[in-house]
């Protein structure tokens, strides 16, 4: 898919909370240390953090890099599966906090882990159609896993924000995108339920692998590229292994996914997962780099994008904290503190 008007990323921003829960802590409590660990550790939000606060900081970083007035942004869209309110938009809080209100469109997106890239597709369309010059898409989450469940090792928190604008102002312009969606209930959460249900191994082949490979292969075919044409590739990262395996299946090398593979250090940040991988890649990108982004959202679908980095990247990288700076800002917590921070203690 290509918009009528050429568009790109004007500014981007990452946010990762300070706290980390080593996967070994979960294993210590639930398997006496005998479980295999899907990541080294995951990010844990502080007591005063939620999807809105995470999105706000990522959005402010994107604005700092974009160098545009908040008032010129005409859409603020936040994708998440952990919106603080069931009814009441996260996006209005974010838009107010960054100073984008009131001449702005705002809405929340929901599509499990690809809610953020779905918002990105829409932002591309809004700017690409010529309706407006600047639109912001955010993926942010504070994911929950049931205590002792396989998900508890990886469910993490983080956010990434992108400002889409005209290609001539962009630090990376869009070459094309592709979305691939089927009704595949590999993971879901019913209303009023605190923790999601998942299909175990069913989340793999028929869900994650099938949707990402179809989306990426179709995009490559549309654009006439092979994996070798890309400097870097980022895939959704529910754990360390899945993105490595899907890269291999598609013909991408370990080096191509190295910079954007954050799951081992921060876990699965859900709607922010692949988008944070992309911020990490952009932090280190050089002009001319072609970058593949492919998300995955349970339910299920994948959005794939191809961006090419421009000369503007050099002056903008340093205008906000890097993804690695947030990863380096690290305070490990034990399982007890994690349980308190994630409000798993029954207080009343």
Partner 1 sequence: MNVPRYWRSERTRYGLVGEICRSCGKPIFPPRDVCPHCTDEGQDVHPFGGKGQVYSFSTVYDAPAGYTEYQPYTVALIKLDEGPLVTAQLTDVDNEAVHIGMPVEMVTRKIKEEGENGLIIYGYKFRPVLESKSSRPDRF
Name the residues annotated as catalytic.
Answer: 81, 113, 236
- x/- binding map, residues 277-306, to partner 1, per CB under 8 A? ------xx----------------------
Cβ atoms 231, 222 nearer than 8 A: no
Question: Is 49 one of the binding residues for partner 1 (CB under 8 A)?
Answer: yes
What is the rounded CA–CA span in Å between residue 206 and residue 194?
Answer: 26
Least distance to partner 1, CB of residue 61, Å:
9
Binding partner 1 (rule: CB under 8 A), the pick from 69, 85, 221, 288 is 85
Choices 49-57, 164-172, 214-222, 264-272 (CB under 8 A): range interacting with partner 1: 49-57
- Cα 212 to chain centroid, rounded: 15
Least distance to partner 1, CB of residue 155, Å:
19
Q: How far is CA 97 from CA 17, 61, 81, 159, 216, in A?
A: 18, 13, 21, 16, 36
By CB neighbour count within 10 A (0-12 exposed, 13-18 middle, 19+ buried), where does 6 fall? middle
By CB neighbour count within 10 A (0-12 exposed, 13-18 middle, 19+ buried), where does 107 fall? middle
Nearer to partner 1 (CB atom), residue 226 or residue 314: 314
Cβ atoms 82, 116 nearer than 8 A: no
Choices 153-161, 261-269, 294-302, 319-327 (CB under 8 A): range interacting with partner 1: 319-327
Category of 148 on φ-ψ map: left (φ > 0), alpha (ψ -120 to 50) or beta: left
Question: Is 326 one of the binding residues for partner 1 (CB under 8 A)?
Answer: yes
Least distance to partner 1, CB of residue 73, Å:
14
Binding partner 1 (rule: CB under 8 A), the pick from 125, 150, 181, 319 is 319
Binding partner 1 (rule: CB under 8 A), the pick from 28, 29, 46, 71 is 46
Question: Whats the size of the chain, residue-wise?
Answer: 348
Question: Is 141 one of the binding residues for partner 1 (CB under 8 A)?
Answer: no
User: Residue 27 CB: number of other CB atoms within 10 A?
Assistant: 18
Least distance to partner 1, CB of residue 324, Å:
5
Please provide residue 64's backbone torsions phi and psi, each rounded to the nearest 5 degrees.
-60, -40
Binding partner 1 (rule: CB under 8 A), the pick from 331, 332, 334, 336 is 331
- Which parts of this chain interact with partner 1 (CB under 8 A)? 17-18, 46-50, 52-53, 56-57, 84-85, 93, 96-99, 283-284, 314, 318-322, 324-326, 328-329, 331, 347
């Amino acid at each position: 898919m290509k918009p009528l008007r050429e568009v790109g990323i004007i500014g981007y921003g990452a946010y990762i909370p300070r706290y980390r829960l080593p996967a070994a802590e979960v294993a210590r409590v639930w398997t006496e240390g005998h479980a295999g660990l899907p990541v080294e550790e995951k990010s844990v939000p502080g007591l005063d953090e939620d999807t809105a606060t995470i999105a706000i900081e990522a959005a402010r970083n994107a604005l700092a890099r974009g160098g545009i007035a908040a008032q010129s942004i005409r859409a603020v869209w936040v994708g998440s599966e952990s919106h603080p309110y069931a009814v009441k938009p996260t996006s209005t809080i974010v838009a107010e906090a960054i100073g984008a209100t009131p001449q702005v469109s705002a809405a929340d997106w929901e599509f499990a882990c690809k809610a953020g890239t779905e918002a990105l597709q829409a932002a591309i369309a809004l700017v690409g159609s010529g309706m407006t010059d600047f639109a912001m898409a955010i993926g942010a989450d504070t994911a929950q896993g049931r205590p002792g469940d396989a998900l508890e090792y990886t469910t993490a928190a983080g956010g990434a924000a992108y400002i889409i604008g005209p290609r001539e102002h962009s630090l990376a312009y869009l070459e094309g995108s592709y979305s691939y969606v089927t009704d595949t209930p590999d993971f879901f959460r019913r209303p009023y339920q605190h923790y999601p249900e998942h299909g175990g191994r069913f989340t793999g082949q028929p869900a994650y692998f099938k949707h990402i490979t179809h989306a990426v292969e179709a995009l490559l075919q549309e654009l006439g590229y092979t994996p070798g044409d890309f400097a870097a590739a980022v895939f959704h990262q529910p754990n360390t292994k899945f993105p490595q395996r899907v890269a291999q299946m598609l013909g991408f090398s370990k080096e191509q996914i190295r910079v954007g593979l954050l799951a081992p250090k921060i876990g699965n940040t859900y709607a922010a997962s692949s988008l944070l991988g992309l911020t990490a890649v952009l932090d280190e990108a050089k002009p001319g780099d072609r970058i593949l982004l492919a998300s995955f959202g349970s339910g299920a679908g994948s959005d794939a994008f191809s961006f090419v980095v421009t000369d503007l990247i050099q002056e903008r990288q340093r205008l906000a904290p890097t993804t690695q700076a947030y990863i380096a800002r690290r305070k490990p917590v034990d399982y007890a503190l994690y349980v308190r921070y994630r409000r798993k203690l029954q207080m009343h």
